[in-house]
Structure 1
Amino acid sequence: MPEPSTTAVRQTPSGVIHDIGYQRYEGPRLGRRQVFGALYLHGLRTAFGFGRSAKAKIFPWLVVGIVSLVAVALAAIRSQIGEPVATYAQFADAMSWLVIFFVAVVAPELVSRDLRSGVLPLYFSRPLPRSDYALAKLLALSTSLWLLLGGPQLLMFLGAAFTTKQGMRGVWNELLDLLPGLLYAGLWAVVFASVGLLVASLTGKRAFAAGGVVAVFLMTTPIVGVLSILPSRAANELAGLASPSTLVQGVGIWSLGDLLVEGDPGEMTIGGFGPLYALAAVLLVAGATALLLARYRKVAS
């Protein structure tokens, strides 16, 4: 039986490469840091609806408008009566309920959409570790929340600085009050962002993610209420540990003192457990971040 000709096999074409005119990329190859920065900026723009439809901008900017309007109103009232209606830290506490709904809307936009659309394998096929993806989203959400609370505080500061009757000394004193308020806003931002993003990362359905975020923050409040009316004084002072919102307020009471509780007789009491509140806040943020990283080590694998 004759054997097939190897020469004929070699001469048979197996494929054709067509040059369709694409130019080869000859620019710089950016690394991990630039990828992280691009993802962070994209997340920050997404939080406020930039680069998205007009409908997506309605809620974020509605919240921004509300908190800014409140800040302007407080500054105007202060200019008339000559004394602050609320400190910068108290303003952050008063706006915390809006922060909850802002997180419930923005966090699913940052992570749930990617889970649902199945684009995570494309992200991770590039030089982007899974931990960088999660941390970039967390940093973007934390920054947006800090801007949401810190921006109006800056408006309040400008109003007070231009109406003070003590000259530069009054401006300096006002700045010393503003800085703790900005740090306190940062605490709200980090705690709410870490918890909210973790909850949102558990599902690709934005409605479920938003409901889960609201449930975590609001359904823990009744627990605080029950513990605060127990006959035990220690239970009353430790009640704030049961909810992220009251946990942040407890840290603020311990660290800021009169800047937060002055003139507010209904403020929660923490007794001598201030350091415990601070430790609990650190553990909450660290634990939520660790679980978020663990979540993205398994997703799309």
Structure 2
Amino acid sequence: MPEPSSAAVRPAPTGVIHDIGYQRYEGPRLGRRHVFGALYLHGVRTVFGFGRSAKAKIFPWLVVGIVTLVAVALAAIRSQIGEVVATYAQFADSMSWLVIFFVAVAAPELVSRDLRSGVLPLYFSRPLPRTDYALAKLLALVTALWLLLGGPQLLMFLGAAFTTKDGMSGVWNELLDLLPGLLYAGLWAAVFASIGLLVASLTGKRAFAAGGVVAVFLMTTPIVGVLSILPSRAANELAGLASPTTLVRGTGIWALGDLLFDDGEAGLSIGGFGPVYALAAVLLVAGATALLLARYRKVAS
């Protein structure tokens, strides 16, 4: 009696392949530049709460509302009394405390969340160098801070332009006042963003990051007060180097003082040390950026 063949006793296949519609991507590969741009735009949106919950929008838009109301009030008062209440630079200086707290909330949202949730390996698995990630986040925060200060300055300009009695010459003169003010706002944004993002990148806990950012800015202020009352005149004039806030103000006084401030040195005496303030500001931004890049070279992927 012949034995059954192996084919006869082999069980029938039970597996079924289903086509569920997955297809290979055949579109253009946009590359590194577009990845950087997408990350930058996402960062700007994140700072202002776009694409996030309503709760995440409360604080950034509260700050935006406050600075906007102040700018509108200054423009309205100027239109009524016919005199400049505050220059564009003085407006930026007066909003510095709000900017500090804005950075303390925005910087952890940009970097601390990614550290805590562990998504950095996903970012770095694509054609995105670590330096691009850090620079895109930094540029996003700089842009957001510049918009936070520059937007209200633009409202102040529009209010002055529509109420000037000197015609087009008055509008032109006002524009010449606005442009240095926007540059000054950019200086605020660069210094505060570089420091804030560096501090926030050191921890994945947003509360610790926010506290660290506030501490760095606020704890340096008393040092300026102590140095400014020393008997040495040089120490008094160099005291502003001890705090990012006064460092920015001193740099603005030296670079654009006549264009920015109506009352001379805006309460800060820098003497002949203006170039020192400018050099210190450049070194601070460059150093903070370099440390930020070094930080992300060591982040595990």
TM range (shorter): over 0.9
Pair 1:100 & 2:89 matched = no
Deviation at 1:240, TM superposition (A): 0.3
- Alignment correspondent of 1:3: none
What is the match of residue 136 of structure 1? Answer: 136
Q: How many residues align?
A: 288
Distance across 2 between alignment mates of 1:266 and 1:145: 22
Name the counterpart of 1:78: 78
Cα separation, 1, equivalents of 2:153 and 2:109: 26
Distance 1:266-1:127 versus aligned 2 partners, 3 A rule: closer
Tell me what 2:248 maps to.
248
Gaps (5+ residues) in structure 2?
Answer: 1-12
Deviation at 1:223, TM superposition (A): 0.4
Deviations 1:150-180 (A, max 9, x none): 0000000000000000000000000000000
Aligned counterpart, 2:278: 278
Query: 2:184 and 2:70 mapped to 1: Cα distance?
Result: 18
Structure-2 residue corresponding to 1:116: 116
Paired AA for residue 238 in structure 1: L
Deviation at 1:123, TM superposition (A): 0.2
Counterpart of 2:155 in structure 1 is: 155
Cα distance in 1 between the residues matched to 2:53 and 2:265: 45
Alpha-carbon separation, structure 1, partners of 2:184 and 2:253: 10
State the match for 1:172 in structure 2: 172
Alignment of 1:1-20 (within 5 A): 19-20=19-20
What letter is aligned with 1:147?
A: L
Give 1:67's aligned residue. 67
Moved over 6 A (4+): none
Could you state the TM-score of these two structures normalised by the residue count of structure 2?
0.93
In 1, Cα distance between equivalents of 2:173 and 2:145: 26
- On the 8 A contact 1:87/1:259 being kept in 2, the answer is no
Cα distance in 2 for residues equivalent to 1:126 and 1:179: 40
Deviations 1:45-83 (A, max 9, x none): 000000000000000000000000000000000001111
Query: Offset of 1:17 from its aligned partner?
Result: 7.0
1:26 aligns with 2:23: no
Match in the other structure for 1:54:
54
Say whether the 8 Å CA contact 1:48–1:57 is kept in structure 2.
Answer: yes
Find the aligned partners of 1:296 and 1:266 in 2 and give their Cα distance.
Answer: 39
* Distance change >3 Å, CA 36–CA 271, structure 1 → 2: same
1:257 counterpart SS class? helix
* Cα separation, partners in 2 of 1:90 and 1:266, compared to 1, 3 Å: closer
Aligned-residue CA RMSD in angstroms? 1.5
- Provide the TM-score with structure 1 as the length reference: 0.93
The code of the aligned residue for 1:29 comes to R
Q: Is contact 1:261-1:267 (8 Å) kept?
A: no
